[in-house]
Amino acid sequence: MDKFRIGIIGTGYVGLVTGACLSDMGHTVYCMDIDEKVIKDLKSGQLPIYEPGLAELVAQGKERGNLFFTTYIEEVTDNCEIIYLAVGTPQSLDGGADLSQIYEAARSIRDSASRHTIVVTKSTVPVGTGGGLQHLL
């Protein structure tokens, strides 16, 4: 199996679990979040969420040296050929999905990622969001 350098933007339930599992499969993974406390805690082994077996996967990835945590988007865009967007899409006041975080994440990688970087939407988004992201990127 080919090994990839993968970035995950967002370290909540979706992003952290995805990153830990991809690391366990042997890929090099950079998990990025704008919350400095979350990243500091992850670096020290304190997880912001609980999922059975997740703490062990994170510890093993850090020990293997293929799971990293950062607040710097450039660390992701400079090192990764695939970037997953795994940020929150909470319900907006009108009942629809608030896509501001996913569009902000896309804008943050737009100017510094390679033209050949693969961007994957892991966040739950409504139909048509992919087209909007494609246009933005």
CATH class of 5-136: alpha beta
What pLDDT is attached to residue 114? 78
Q: Which has more confidence, 98 or 38?
A: 38
pLDDT tens sequence across 34-72: 999 999 999 999 999 999 999 999 999 999 999 999 999
Number of neighbours of residue 49 by Cβ within 10 angstroms: 13
What pLDDT is attached to residue 116? 87
Burial (0-12, 13-18, 19+ Cβ within 10 Å), 121: middle
Q: Residue ranges per domain, the chain?
A: 5-136
What is the distance between the alpha carbons of residues 3 and 49, in angstroms, rounded to a whole number? 27
What pLDDT is attached to residue 57? 98
What pLDDT is attached to residue 83? 97
Q: What is the mean pLDDT of residues 113-134?
A: 87
Q: What is the mean pLDDT of residues 79-95?
A: 93
Q: How does residue 22 score in pLDDT terms, banded at 50, 70 and 90?
A: very high
3-state secondary structure of 104: helix
What pLDDT is attached to residue 24? 98
Question: Does pLDDT of 132 surpass 90?
Answer: no
Q: What is the mean pLDDT of residues 10-24?
A: 97
What pLDDT is attached to residue 112? 83
What pLDDT is attached to residue 32? 98
Phi, psi of 39 (to 5 degrees): -65, -40
